[in-house]
Amino acid sequence: MCNLQDKCVIVTGSSHGIGYSIAKIIAREGAHVAINCRQNVEEAEKVALEIRALGRNSIVVQADVTDLQQVRSMTDTVVNKWGRVDVLVTNVGHAYYHQIDRLNPELWHQSIEENLTSQMYCIQASLPYMIKQGRGRVIAISSISAQRGSPSGDIGYSASKAAIIAMIKTLAQQYASQQITFNAVLPGIIDAGLTNSMPLERRELLIESIPMRRLGKPDEIGEAVAFLASDQASYITGQAIAVNGGLYM
């Protein structure tokens, strides 16, 4: 169990999928959680309601995290409501599955913007508050593709996810003396999103490629994030934590 009692946490992209699991588990450990969504406010409100049922505070902050002004407004809303931001989890990302021979400049920039720039904006907006507080935790969600590349040839996705790790390591060195830690979690193939709609035969082949012979669970990503957000991980910074069932070692 990770003690996050009364910590104030922002989780981007948390109205569904892995982000939802992260928000739910962090709340279970005692945190108050700001749920971020770009469009589906109704879905986000259901997540916030579920968290409130645990006895925690939760608000919905609608923002497109590729827009710096919206990110700043989101962060200010949380601080104005709760007085601080203890933990930031940057979870937004998107894969387009475009190989280099079909990749145009617009798609390349879109991939970098959604997967990398959005995370940088969120960190940039929250960091001044963490510096003022004298502590903070930043956990960025990257991907197994950052380490092994993309089997489908999606260079925009794999390059941007790898850049997240470099960004986290750089910031970890810069702010370690101010008790602000930066780490990344790298999910493998998780039983959520696209894997749910895969044909059974392809899904079985995918499972066979994983040494643990199963897909990861969204909650397993949430547990890793909760640990890194806690005081138990206070001496861990600049690390890329792989949660992939042994698919890449």
Q: Which residue has the tokens 């959680």?
A: 33
Cα–Cα distances in angstroms (integers) from residue 229 to residues 32, 141, 213, in the given order:
13, 13, 29
In angstroms, rounded to a whole number, what is the distance separating the alpha carbons of residues 233 and 209? 31
Please state the three-class secondary structure of 157-210 as a single string.
HHHHHHHHHHHHHHHHHHHHHHCEEEEEEEECCECCHHHHHCCHHHHHHHHHCC
User: Which of the following is catalytic: 20, 121, 129, 157?
Assistant: 157
Number of helices (H), then strands (E), in the chain? 9, 7
Active site residue 121: no
Active site residues: 157
